[in-house]
């Protein structure tokens, strides 16, 4: 996220909103494509994966807002606080997805695909915002 530090303050909420809307659209297309070429549980997995990624973003956004409310803190303390909880959520999601993969392959692959689709959409949106603001210095 160091790339985003130099952007104007109002840019991040717009980026996140655009990412969620784009991810929902791409997720819907992924769902339809998966329905056509994969088992129905795979399509459900795509929707669940995108939903999990959006939910994680909402948790991170809420957590970051709470950190800002605590006043002046060193950036190292803020990173440690955000990083620990984010890593915990990532670990829980990873274990859950691996469990689903063992229980039902198409559903698990669908969830992984949805998570990957979300990350691709996020990276594309970050690239668009950064390039629109003059690129990386």
| First and final C-alpha spacing in the chain | 14
Classify residue 34: in a domain, yes or no: yes
Q: Which residues touch 27 (CB under 8 Å, ≥6 apart)? A: 46, 47, 49, 50, 51, 114, 117, 118
**Residue span of the structural domain in which 32 resides:** 10-132
Residue 130 pLDDT level (bands cut at 50, 70, 90): confident
Classify residue 68: in a domain, yes or no: yes
Task: Round to whole Å and give the CA distance between 46 and 56.
Answer: 15
Classify residue 65: in a domain, yes or no: yes
Extract the tokens encoding 34.
């998966």
Query: Phi/psi at 62 (nearest 5 deg)?
Result: -65, -40
CB neighbours of residue 90 within 10 Å:
11
Classify residue 54: in a domain, yes or no: yes
Classify residue 5: in a domain, yes or no: no
| Residue 85 three-state SS | helix
Return the top range by mean pLDDT from 4-13, 58-67, 76-85: 58-67
Closest CA to 40 of 106, 98, 90: 106
Classify residue 1: in a domain, yes or no: no
Classify residue 4: in a domain, yes or no: no
**Number of domains within the chain:** 1
Return the top range by mean pLDDT from 27-31, 63-67, 78-82: 27-31
Mean residue pLDDT of the chain comes to 84
pTM of the model: 0.81
- Residue 59 confidence (pLDDT): 84
Classify residue 120: in a domain, yes or no: yes
């Amino acid at each position: 996220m160091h790339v985003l530090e130099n952007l104007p303050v109002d840019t991040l909420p717009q980026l996140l909103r655009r990412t969620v809307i784009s991810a929902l659209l791409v997720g819907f297309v992924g769902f339809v494509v998966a329905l056509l070429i994969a088992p129905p549980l795979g399509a459900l997995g795509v929707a669940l994966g995108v939903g999990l990624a959006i939910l994680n973003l909402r948790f991170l956004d809420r957590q970051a807002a709470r950190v800002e409310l605590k006043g002046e803190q060193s950036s190292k303390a803020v990173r440690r606080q955000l990083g620990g909880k984010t890593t915990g959520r990532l670990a829980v999601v990873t274990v859950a997805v691996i469990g689903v993969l063992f229980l039902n392959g198409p559903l698990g692959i669908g969830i992984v695909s949805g998570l990957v689709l979300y990350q691709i959409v996020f990276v594309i949106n970050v690239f668009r915002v950064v390039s629109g603001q003059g690129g990386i210095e």
